[in-house]
Amino acid sequence: MSKPVEIIDELNLLSEHGVRNTRQRSAILQVLLASDIPLSAERIHEKTKEADADINLSTVYRFVEMLVEKNLATKSFNLEYGRATFELSNPHHRHHLTCTHCGEIVVIRECPLDKLCRALEEDTGFAVIGHRIELFGVCPKCQRELSTEEL
Amino acid sequence: MSKPVEIIDELNLLSEHGVRNTRQRSAILQVLLASDIPLSAERIHEKTKEADADINLSTVYRFVEMLVEKNLATKSFNLEYGRATFELSNPHHRHHLTCTHCGEIVVIRECPLDKLCRALEEDTGFAVIGHRIELFGVCPKCQRELSTEEL
DNA sequence: GTGATAGATGCAAATGCTTTGCATTTGCAT
DNA sequence: ATGCAAATGCAAAGCATTTGCATCTATCAC
Ligand SMILES: [Mn+2]
Ligand SMILES: [Mn+2]
Ligand SMILES: [Zn+2]
Ligand SMILES: [Zn+2]
């Protein structure tokens, strides 16, 4: 199986950052590229296994942290799940709304903080370099189930 | 030293929730009430010590989790710091902008997500029950220091 | 006030995600 | 092909947080 073009791009991006291109990193990137939701290191590890790549979990941790360091990925911490999660940072970054019951995730298309950040820079003198947003609620399906249980 | 009126309120609030009023809990609430920024369990523990209250760290963990459970406090996870943090949830909840260099914190007075949450409920059918926002940047002082170092 | 009891605490051990040291392997420049 | 710094695998350590259990205590009925 040849690598998708995005991976090649990412790998080139890495070499430009003075980082070596390895089988493990390619597999990890492939998983991250294929996902539109944040993944924990363990989940990334599982998915590389499913793709027949034998990678050590430490390698996953080391590489995703490197991606974050180089601003190629974003790290969050999922409190419900109790783990850090990672996703590639794209110019059109996304935020998510998660159902606290079943875990369903809805993607929020535009960032609600863009304007706020500019305003804050004016007001505070801070250089705002990043943000995280987590939204949680109960999805329609779980709402129905929960209201049934309450009878 | 008699307890401030807010603490009494909080303790009453607790008994209404069927929770016992103890020396330890009073001290923890005092610390949380006195702080306008989120605190880690360990930081809360230290501050109760400074106030001459001898409390076990487990008790802090158990109580703040209980507060979160009862929606009396909000839990976040400070990725830079690597720890969960807690703050009392007030009706006029606040968000913060943190300097990644010196840790200075600026309070954001109005929640930029209120409108978005209502819009999301319309669009997705989710019942949106909460959110977290973290903003980070570099404060003016650190910006000056950093630009000096670069010479 | 006294006693009964469910709930709270302290302590220490366990948990589990994440990090790290080190021997070995490997990408990549020459 | 060779050399070497960087990357990996493995196992052990780190460390915030959780948990089991014995002891204590707030609260309430009497
Ligand atoms: Mn955004
Ligand atoms: Mn808000
Ligand atoms: Zn759901
Ligand atoms: Zn600063």
Parse chain A into domains and list their residue ranges.
1-86, 92-151
Q: Which residues neighbour strand C (beta carbon < 7 Å)?
A: A 15, 20-23, 40-42, 57-58, 61-62, 65, 77, 82-84; B 19-20, 22, 24-25, 54-56, 58-59, 62-63
The structure's pTM equals: 0.78
Which residues in chain A land under pLDDT 50? 151
Q: What is the pLDDT of residue B49?
A: 96
Question: What letter would DSSP give residue B2?
Answer: P
Query: Domain B92-151: which topology?
Result: Dna Ligase; domain 1 (3.30.1490)
Q: Report the run of H or E that residue A123 belongs to, with start and end.
A: helix A114-124
Cβ B140–A133 below 8 Å, yes or no?
Answer: no
Q: What is the pLDDT of residue A6?
A: 67
Q: Is A81 on the interface with B (CB under 8 A)?
A: no
Residue numbers in A 53-112, CB below 7 Å of strand D? 54-56, 58-59, 62-63
Q: Could you tell me if B125 and A104 are in contact, meaning their C-beta atoms sit under 8 angstroms apart?
A: no
Q: Kindly indicate the confidence band of residue B107, based on its pLDDT and cuts at 50, 70 and 90.
A: confident
**A1-86 CATH:** 1.10.10.10
- Percent with pLDDT over 90 in chain B: 41
Does residue B151 carry a pLDDT above 60?
A: no
Q: What is the pLDDT of residue A111?
A: 84
CB atoms within 10 A of CB B103: 13
Q: How far is CA A90 from CA A37, A43, A94, in A?
A: 12, 20, 8
Q: Report the run of H or E that residue A70 belongs to, with start and end.
A: none
Q: What is the pLDDT of residue B31?
A: 96
Instruction: Give the β-pairing of A39-40 and A83-88.
Output: antiparallel
